């Protein structure tokens, strides 16, 4: 009887130890030994991808200055739809490419694009200017914000620009920024839309446009010495975090509102965190938390459609973690960036690491080469998908891979 009793005690103790160890493992106190992540991306792959993607955007600019919106390279058909915000976003993407490596070809693409939007802009006596995109019934705030970003990132990198042309663009920028400030809501976010006739804002805010506008204002103050914008920027930065991040994630853990704001918020908060301005130190932690959310809650690596936008945000968080000596987040973000961006690079038509679908669908079509698919096996190539991914490639080369 004694031996049987001892056996029962032994089994009970073993079971309790198993429960304790399992609990410690799940809580993270004990971790499984895993092999260190092995990087797949190289500077050579990134450089080739950037070269191809840049040429894709150049080849798809129309004579008027805007871009082919979407091209199906299998059946060789252009989608007649358009999107003014994405059009302005591509122009900003070209400005970032020019900022990365100035050259005459990109200069001419930008000049043509700026002229296009100038031809479709309206100005008021109080020195505001807004876009009246052709065939649209209402204006989109994001269009003006992204156009402003394109001008800012062009001017801060253009060295041999004609003084008269620089003055012209600076004047346009001031008026576009005046317009953006004029359509701010009482809670410091921005109207999503505006009337084309008089530039009066109306309607609720948009997480995309709030983020784009915050980034435009922040970069204008930081790189164009427009210090008068700082009070507006700090108010809007606090408001976006409160309404779009804090409150949204209370109501819904994987909020589409927060997702829409994500990369714009990350880019804005990065500029604030590295500005040296007062009351901006906390944005480093906020940026890290947002990147954790994108990886752990939104599960960017498991998404089946293109998530280039995610890496525009995560790479900025990586840089903040790296500079802070935060090894855990540095390693975590680096592996996610490498795995995710490598997968997306394999979706580039005639790119450096084509996936199985692309290997079976080779092409010599100049409207297609370098374009990024929105899904690993879907041929439509939308301009903004390539634009976002090329920006992520620029950031990865600069901050992660030191190319």
Q: How far is residue 164 from each of residues 148, 170, 171, 212, measured CA to CA in Å?
A: 18, 10, 11, 28
pLDDT confidence of residue 159: 76
- 346-370: burial string, b at 16+ Cβ within 10 Å, e else: bbbbbbbbbbeebeeeeeeeebbbb
Q: How far is residue 126 from each of residues 120, 198, 254, measured CA to CA in Å?
A: 18, 11, 42
Q: How far apart are the first and last CA of the chain?
A: 73
Q: Are 40 and 339 in contact (CB under 8 A)?
A: yes
Closest of 135, 229, 250, 220 to residue 184, by C-alpha: 229
Could you state, in chain order, the average pLDDT of each consecutive group of 10 residues for the chain (403 residues)? Answer: 44 46 48 67 98 98 97 96 97 97 95 97 97 96 98 90 94 98 98 97 97 98 96 98 97 97 98 96 97 98 96 98 97 98 98 97 97 97 98 98 95
pLDDT confidence of residue 6: 46
Global pTM reads 0.90
Phi first, then psi, for residue 187 (nearest 5°) are: -90, 10
Please classify residue 270 by burial: count the beta carbons closer than 10 Å to its beta carbon, then call 0-12 exposed, 13-18 middle and 19+ buried: buried
Closest of 123, 94, 92 to residue 106, by C-alpha: 94
pLDDT confidence of residue 8: 46
Cross-strand pairs, 130: 122
Q: Count Cβ atoms below 10 Å from residue 193 Cβ, excluding itself.
A: 20
pLDDT confidence of residue 36: 73
d(CA 202, CA 223): 30
Q: Please list, in sequence order, all residues whose beta carbon lies within 8 angstroms of the beta carbon of residue 175, skipping any fewer than 6 positions away.
A: 123, 127, 128, 129
d(CA 137, CA 167): 31
Alpha helices, DSSP H only, in 252-307?
A: 256-273, 283-296
- 125-159: burial string, b at 16+ Cβ within 10 Å, e else: eeebbbbbbeebeebbbbbbbbbbbbbbbbbebbe
Domain segments of the chain: what residues?
1-33, 34-400
d(CA 213, CA 159): 26
Collapsed DSSP state (helix, strand, coil) of residue 336? helix
Cross-strand pairs, 72: 77, 380
d(CA 390, CA 398): 12
d(CA 316, CA 162): 33
Of the candidate CATH numbers 3.40.50.1820, 1.50.10.20, 3.40.50.800, 1.10.3720.10, the domain formed by 34-400 belongs to 1.50.10.20
Q: Are 321 and 313 in contact (CB under 8 A)?
A: no
Q: Are 349 and 73 in contact (CB under 8 A)?
A: yes
DSSP-assigned letters across all residues of 128-194 = -EEE--TT-SSEEHHHHHHHHHHHHHHHTT-SS--HHHHHHHHHHHHHHHHHHHHTB-TTS-B-SEE
d(CA 2, CA 15): 20
């Amino acid at each position: 009887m004694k031996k049987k009793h001892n056996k029962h005690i032994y089994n009970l103790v073993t079971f309790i130890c198993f429960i304790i160890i399992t609990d410690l493992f799940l809580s993270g106190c004990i971790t499984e030994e895993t092999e260190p992540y092995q990087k797949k991306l190289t500077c050579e792959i990134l450089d080739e991808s950037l070269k191809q993607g840049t040429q894709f955007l150049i080849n798809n600019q129309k004579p008027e200055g805007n871009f082919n919106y979407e091209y199906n390279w299998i059946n060789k058909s252009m989608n007649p739809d358009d999107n003014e915000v994405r059009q302005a976003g591509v122009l900003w993407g070209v400005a970032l490419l020019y900022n990365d490596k100035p050259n005459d070809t990109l200069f001419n693409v930008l000049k043509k694009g700026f002229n296009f939007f100038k031809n479709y802009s309206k100005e008021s006596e109080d020195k505001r200017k807004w876009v009246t995109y052709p065939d649209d019934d209402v204006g989109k705030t994001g269009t003006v914000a992204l156009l402003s970003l394109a001008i800012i990132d062009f001017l801060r990198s253009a060295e041999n620009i004609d003084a008269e042309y620089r003055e012209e663009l600076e004047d346009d920028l001031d008026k576009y920024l005046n317009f953006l400030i004029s359509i701010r809501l009482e809670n410091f976010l921005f109207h999503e839309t505006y009337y084309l006739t008089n530039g009066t804002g109306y309607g609720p805010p948009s997480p995309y446009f709030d983020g784009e506008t915050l980034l435009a204002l922040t970069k204008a103050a930081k790189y164009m010495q427009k210090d008068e914008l700082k009070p507006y920027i700090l108010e809007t930065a606090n408001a976006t975090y409160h309404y779009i991040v804090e409150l949204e994630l209370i109501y819904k853990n994987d909020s589409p509102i927060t997702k829409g704001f994500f990369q714009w918020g990350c880019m804005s908060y990065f500029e604030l965190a590295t500005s040296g301005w007062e009351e901006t130190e906390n944005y480093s932690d906020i940026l890290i938390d947002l990147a954790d959310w994108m990886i752990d809650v939104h599960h960017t690596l498991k998404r089946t459609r293109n998530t280039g936008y995610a890496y525009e945000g995560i790479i900025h968080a990586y840089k903040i973690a790296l500079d802070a000596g935060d090894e855990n987040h540095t390693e975590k973000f680096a592996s996610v960036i490498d795995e995710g961006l490598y997968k997306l690079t394999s979706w580039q038509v005639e790119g450096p690491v084509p996936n199985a679908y692309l290997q079976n669908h080779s092409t010599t079509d100049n409207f297609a080469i370098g374009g990024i698919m929105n899904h690993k096996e879907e041929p439509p190539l939308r301009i903004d998908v390539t634009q976002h991914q090329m920006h992520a490639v620029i950031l990865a080369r600069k901050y992660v891979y030191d190319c």
